Amino acid sequence: EGQRVEVNLLTSALSALTNQASAHLLTGVVPQATGNAHPSIVPYALYDAADRPMVLAVGNDRQFAALATALDLPGLATDDRFATNAARVANAVELEATLNSVLKQKSAQHWADLLAEVGVPCGPVNSIADAFDLAQRVGPGATVDVEGLRQVANPIGLSATPPTYRSRPPKLGG
């Protein structure tokens, strides 16, 4: 049986603030801007590789140890300043400087491939063209051709009533 589906844009945006929203609602503290960095996990931010930025999302001590080994910094994971996430958060500036100095030596894709092998979540920052190419390579396309015009595909897959594309947008000036 069908039903009405409503998606409120403001509530959706607030819902996407997962950690920050929950932290505020539970503590009453208004979070400060952190840019692309995570407020309570380090390293979990953008870093500079030789060719472009990349993101590291190291969520636990095991992943941090794997990162340190892969970057050929074996003592980093046992250093008291970085051995636990709490210590890494307290010493984030120093840790991030160390990581950036190593990551700048090779391409983001090099690091992404190497770190994926050892279970460290990471990846290059893609341009929009790179993002569409990636989407085409890894799964259902993010684009659809409608009457010779390439467009963004509907991201919602419905098994019984998949999206259809009956006509393209009007031509410029027509």
Residue 85 reports pLDDT greater than 70: yes
pTM reported for the whole predicted model: 0.76
Residue 90 to residue 45: CA distance in whole angstroms: 15
At 103, list the tokens.
Answer: 């990551």
Q: Are the beta carbons of 53 and 108 closer than 8 angstroms?
A: yes
Amino acid making up residue 121: P
Whole-number Å distance between alpha carbons of 12 and 29: 21
Per the model's pLDDT, the better-predicted residue between 82 and 11 turns out to be 82
Residue 156 has which token pair?
């919602």
The whole-number average pLDDT for the span 81-97 is 97
